Amino acid sequence: MIRRKTKKVETLINLFEQKNEALSVVDLTNRLSTQMNKTTVYRILDRLEQSGVVHSFNDSNGLRWYAKCNGCSATKHTDTHPHFQCTDCGTIECLSMEIPVPSISNRQINSVEIMLKGTCERCIS
């Protein structure tokens, strides 16, 4: 964990605590534009990821997204869950299910990124 939490770091963490959805860097920097500049947002996100607080992934457009971790530590990210993107509203959520990671001979797997696409709960009804 981060030893000393500054007010800015707390502000960012609070955004992730509010809902169980991933936030894109564009969304994050827009929301925080009155409180801190982009460079600060990127730096804090980096630190939070290294501390096991958030994890990140790219969508098919190359946009970076961040979401809250569950049970990760500074030494190891254990996020092997898939993500679900709604093609109607664009939101991405973490799915709380484990995806078995295959072991491949002579290869070392360091991260797993699975993006499922479809229609979310809100848009389907």
The verdict on whether residue 98 carries a ligand-binding annotation is: yes
**Among 24, 32, 45, 77, which residue interacts with Zn ion (rule: CB under 5 A)?**
77
Q: Which is nearer to Zn ion, 88 or 98 (CB)?
A: 88
| Shortest CB 81 distance to Zn ion, Å | 6
Cα(70)–Cα(42) distance, rounded to whole angstroms? 21
Handedness of CA 121, 20, 99, 66 (dihedral sign): positive
Check whether 72 is labelled as a binding-site residue: no
Q: Is 92 in the site for Zn ion (CB under 5 A)?
A: no
**Helix (H/G/I), strand (E/B), else coil: 64:** strand
Is residue 116 a contact point for Zn ion (CB under 5 A)? no
Q: Is 86 in the site for Zn ion (CB under 5 A)?
A: yes
Beta bridge partners of 83: 94, 115
CB 37, min distance to Zn ion, A: 26
Cβ nearer to Zn ion, comparing 37 with 111? 111
Instruction: Supply the angle between the helices 7-18 and 38-50 in degrees, to the nearest 10.
Output: 70
28 counts as binding Zn ion under rule CB under 5 A: no
| Token code pair at residue 123 | 């848009």
Ligand-binding annotation for 69, yes or no, is: no
Residues paired with residue 85 on neighbouring β-strands, in sequence order = 92, 117
Rounded CA-CA distance 85/44 in Å is 25
Residues that bind Zn ion (CB under 5 A): 55, 67, 69, 72, 77, 79, 86, 88-89, 94, 120, 123
